[in-house]
Amino acid sequence: MRMHRILIGFGVAAGLLAAPLARLVVVAQEPVLSDEVQAALAAQEAAIRGKVDQFVKAYNAKDAHAVAELFLKQAFLVDEDDNVVQGRENIEAIFADLFAENPDTGVEVNVESIRFITSSLAVELGSTTTVPPAGVAPESGRYSCVHVLQNGDWKMGVIRDIPAKPTHRDQLQALSWMVGDWVDQSRDGMVKTSCRFTPDGSFLIQEVTVHPRAGGDANSMTQRIGWDPLGKRFKSWVFDSEGGYGESNWTPTDGGWLIKFTGVSSDGAIASATNHIRPLGLDKYLFRSVDRVVGNEAMPPLEVTVVRQPPAPQLPPLESPAAPAPGR
């Protein structure tokens, strides 16, 4: 069971997330899209660009409510210093304050690219330039925006300012959607994954627990994911509770991530796999593992859908009994 989980990459059960042996190298090819699919993507891209135009119009009209309505209810704004604003109401308040402080400043937006991760998830890269009053120098910046298709309407989910010189922490934000608690089940058992940033934001840490369906002791694994400045890609390292270990190199694809994994089990057998992760919105993704080999044994392919666990309900605090009055 533990090798089963090694081979599926130790999660990215929050996903995101083996260089198999040389004979297992897989070459990713650009998919050939039909005219119908290309037309559908062009229509969706036009819809997203229309939302950008609405943002510029509302911004220049100083209409904070109209700006906020373009966001998901629980959307995020993240500035260059990693300060986070979450929630449509808070986003509206931020823009209301901005407009009050700069009533005569407008904005221009240049969309550089729109990349579809899935049919309902797209990433936009672009730049902004302020249009200030006469005599004031304009300011420029770059940003990324995750758009989510919700009930037939594109909404902005995460907007992040891009620093002039991205750091390893900035690169890692591309995997920030993995943060949280996740669960997936297969015929072999249930896997629970908790993903968090390290305190300094340099790595993502995944704690994985595998519960075999046939009973017996659960196995645990820890995976550390970071940016490789030499390879200019994400890299991860994993260690299991039985003494096995492995590492993976990640390559972005049009549909998500291709992860090449190699590892060693506690008895010294070499393991390898090619994993694919395809996000299905912000709270679900498809995990597929192929070319799975342990020692000289080929393993069957594996495919599971991983879902985000909702937060536990917050119970109101118990009221302390009233203190007795003096003299009683």
Higher confidence at residue 213 or residue 200?
200
Q: Which two tokens stand for residue 202?
A: 């340099």
DSSP 269-280: -EEEEEEEEEE-
| Among 267, 284, 174, 276, residue whose Cα is nearest residue 225 | 174
The predicted model gives 97-106 an average pLDDT of 95
Task: Look at 2 and 314; give whichever has higher pLDDT.
Answer: 314
- The span from the CA of 249 to the CA of 238, in Å, is 12
What SS3 class is residue 67? Answer: helix
Torsions phi, psi of 39, nearest 5? -65, -40
In whole angstroms, give the CA distance from residue 177 to residue 256: 12
**Fold designation for 38-166:** Nuclear Transport Factor 2; Chain: A, (3.10.450)
Structure confidence at residue 163 (pLDDT): 77
- pLDDT at 143 (0 to 100): 93
b/e burial code for range 98-107 (CB count within 10 A of at least 16 → b)? ebeeeeebbb
Q: Percent helix, strand, coil in the chain (nearest 5)?
A: 20, 45, 35
CA angle, 99 then 156 then 38, to 5°: 135
The residue ranges of every structural domain in the chain are 2-29+172-308, 38-166
DSSP 17-52: -----GGG----------HHHHHHHHHHHHHHHHHH
2-29+172-308 topology per CATH: Lipocalin (2.40.128)
3 — pLDDT class (breaks 50, 70, 90): very low
Q: Are strands 219-228 and 204-212 parallel, antiparallel or unpaired?
A: antiparallel
204 CB-contact burial (10 Å; exposed 0-12 / middle 13-18 / buried 19+): buried
Task: Report which secondary-structure segment, H or E, holds 238.
Answer: strand 233-240
Q: Is residue 279's pLDDT more than 80? A: yes
Residue 64 pLDDT class (50, 70, 90 cuts) = very high
Question: For strand 153-162 and strand 121-131, is the pairing parallel, antiparallel, or unpaired?
Answer: unpaired
Residues 6+ apart with CB under 8 A from 317: none
CA atoms within 13 A on the CB side of 249: 12
- CA torsion angle 135 136 138 139 (round to 10): 160
Please state, for a pLDDT cut of 90, what percent of the chain lies above it: 55
Whether the predicted pLDDT of 8 surpasses 70? no
Q: How far is CA 197 from CA 77, 173, 207, 232, 284, in A?
A: 18, 10, 11, 20, 19
pLDDT (tens digit, 9 = 90+) per residue, 162-180?
Answer: 877 778 888 888 888 889 9
Distance separating alpha carbons of residues 44 and 65, to the nearest angstrom: 24
Residue tagged 């943002």 (tokens): 55
Q: Say how far apart CA 57 and CA 104 lie, in whole Å.
A: 14
Strand order, beta sheet including 84-86 = 84-86, 71-78, 153-162, 140-150, 121-131, 106-118
Q: Tokens for 19?
A: 């260089």
Query: What is the rounded average pLDDT of the residues 70-91?
Result: 93
